[in-house]
Amino acid sequence: MNYLKSADPEIEKLIKQESIRQKEGLEMIPSENYVSPAVLQAMGSILTNKYSEGYPRKRYYGGNDNIDEIELLAQTRAKKLFNVAHVNVQPYSGSPANLAVYMATCSPGDPVMGLNLPDGGHLTHGWKVSFTGIYYKSHPYHVKKDGRVDFDEVWKLAKKYKPKLIWAGATAYVYQYEFDKFAEIADSIGAYFAADIAHTAGLVIAGAHIDPSKYAHIITTTTHKTLRGPRGGMIMVTKKGLKKDPELAQKIDRAVFPGLQGGPHDHTTAAIAVALKEAGKPSFKKYAKQIVKNSKALAKQLIKNGFRLVGSGSENHLCLIDLVPNFGPGGGFFLQYALDHAGITLNKNTIPREPASPFYPSGVRLGTPTLTTRGMKEKEMKKIADWIWQVAQIIANNSLPENKEKRIAYLKNFRRETNKNKELSKIKNQIKRFASSYPIFAW
């Protein structure tokens, strides 16, 4: 019986429409993925009914015997996969996980360091409008012209400001994270070093990315993205972290609960456990390595077609296209909108030394996790790169007006013209036929 259709036909219809959109289009936002039917089943289970404040064997509510076993399973699986000493699987997502790290290691006003947001960093690594940049003294580091972290600057800032906490990790960084260099800097000044691997957790497990466990004191991650699980978060304390601070695990746990959260989402914990079990299979390692192969193939074809890529390629799961040669400063919106209309979903994004603004950035970010989940390989990446280039050529005569007052009318007209463009409609039909031949659950 379709309970949802009976109870709320409006929501049921919208979910069905979204399902069709995902099946008939190409999802290329690097932070997205498709979960397995088993993960979906755990997420939609009766576990959502339970309240479980506290930790296994130390709950504030009764009736948690089964919940305890589920959470312990998730912890045990994560410890094994990531080679860490302690795991907290209760954070609601990546941002709450990162906030808990601050609470466990810093006091308000302490100096911290992370990658500058327009350079590819994350809000919670100290960006000025984030809680982390408001309540802590943030000294962000930047990337060089080629998109790599400027470690000369990281050294300089660390020596000058003596941060209590240094972050490695990013949202739009096409290289592998050089954890060893960050560790050397953090160790030299006695700072905590936290590796945020939200984007690359699945790659780390598969050996397709450098493992931070022997370098960092703390590792945080979301459980979706390349890990291919539900939307949740984890905080891990390494053996090195416990050596620096024997009470670090307890500090992390207290920061999560009762510091920042109430009861955990038990249905999400179960789904995390399922995803971790799937990630421990040989097939997952093959999958994660294929993500990187696909990203490199995509980057190669994009460059061959005429795009300029930050870093001239990719070492992980994502590419970052610099669209200044195509549309001038602030052109990311144009390609995102046109591709969305054609059936390819990605996101506008800032580029290093952004000449415009985060509101109208000059690049787009795209990745291969979801395409790889659907069974696509290098050959398909070339085809998709060709479509992206074709769409860019169709809208090539557009540029963002410098006069802000003229932008509203200009962008309104651009959307109207794009929506009725017959060439884009033709490409959309091609993509629909292509995408529909690849199931969402391909493993």
Is the same domain home to 67 and 158? Answer: yes
Is the same domain home to 417 and 275? Answer: no
Count: domains in the chain: 2
CATH number at residue 424: 3.90.1150.10
Which tens digit of pLDDT belongs to each residue from 190-247? Answer: 999 999 999 999 999 999 999 999 999 999 999 999 999 999 999 999 999 999 999 9
Please give the model's pTM, rounded to 2 decimal places: 0.96
Closest CA relative to residue 100, chosen from 264, 244, 281: 264
53 has catalytic annotation? yes
Question: Is 335 part of any known ligand binding site?
Answer: no
Is the same domain home to 169 and 158? Answer: yes
Structural domain includes residue 112: yes
Structural domain includes residue 26: no
Cα separation, 311 vs 209, in Å, equals: 17
Domain final position from 262, 279, 296: 279
Structural domain includes residue 33: no
Is the same domain home to 137 and 165? Answer: yes
247 has catalytic annotation? no
Per the DSSP assignment, residues forming a β-bridge with 365 are 320, 347
Is the same domain home to 95 and 150? Answer: yes
Q: Binning pLDDT at 50, 70 and 90, where does residue 1 land? A: confident
pLDDT, averaged across the chain: 97
Structural domain includes residue 259: yes
Is the same domain home to 192 and 338? Answer: no
Is the same domain home to 240 and 334? Answer: no
Domain final position from 279, 312, 334: 279
Burial tier of 381 (Cβ tally within 10 Å: 0-12, 13-18, 19+): buried
Which tens digit of pLDDT belongs to each residue from 243-261? Answer: 999 999 999 999 999 999 9
Is the same domain home to 259 and 391? Answer: no
CATH number at residue 231: 3.40.640.10
For residue 341, the one-letter residue type is H
Mean pLDDT within 93-108: 98
Question: Is 207 part of any known ligand binding site?
Answer: no
Residue 58 has pLDDT above 90, yes or no: yes
Cα-based torsion angle of the residue sequence 109, 115, 118, 121 in order, rounded to the nearest 10 degrees: -100
Question: Is 359 part of any known ligand binding site?
Answer: yes
Structural domain includes residue 348: yes
Which member of 231, 377, 382, 415 is catalytic?
231
Domain of 362 in residue numbering reads as 282-436
Is the same domain home to 297 and 357? Answer: yes
Question: Is 193 part of any known ligand binding site?
Answer: no
Which residue is associated with the tokens 């060439």? 423
132 has catalytic annotation? no
Q: What percentage of the chain exceeds 70 in pLDDT?
A: 100
Is the same domain home to 268 and 337? Answer: no
Structural domain includes residue 13: no
Which tens digit of pLDDT belongs to each residue from 407-427? Answer: 999 999 999 999 999 999 999
Question: Is 309 part of any known ligand binding site?
Answer: no
**How many CB atoms within 10 Å of residue 80?**
12
Structural domain includes residue 431: yes
Is the same domain home to 416 and 356? Answer: yes
Which tens digit of pLDDT belongs to each residue from 113-155? Answer: 999 999 999 999 999 999 999 999 999 999 999 999 999 999 9
Residue 37 has pLDDT above 60, yes or no: yes
Cα separation, 397 vs 420, in Å, equals: 16
Is the same domain home to 192 and 289? Answer: no
Question: Is 357 part of any known ligand binding site?
Answer: yes
CB 272 within 8 A of CB 250: no
Domain final position from 279, 309, 332: 279
**How many CB atoms within 10 Å of residue 64?**
21
Closest CA relative to residue 387, chosen from 347, 345, 437: 345
Q: What is the pLDDT of residue 442?
A: 53
Q: What is the pLDDT of residue 404?
A: 87
For residue 303, the one-letter residue type is I
Which member of 196, 253, 266, 315 is catalytic?
196
Which member of 12, 51, 137, 289 is catalytic?
51
Cα separation, 407 vs 169, in Å, equals: 34
Which tens digit of pLDDT belongs to each residue from 296-345? Answer: 999 999 999 999 999 999 999 999 999 999 999 999 999 999 999 999 99
Q: What are phi and psi of 88, to 5 degrees?
A: -115, 120
51 has catalytic annotation? yes
Which member of 59, 225, 300, 374 is catalytic?
225
Q: Binning pLDDT at 50, 70 and 90, where does residue 441 land? A: confident
Compute CA distances 317 → 191, 201, 209, 222, 295, whole Å. Answer: 29, 11, 10, 15, 5
Structural domain includes residue 289: yes
Burial tier of 305 (Cβ tally within 10 Å: 0-12, 13-18, 19+): middle
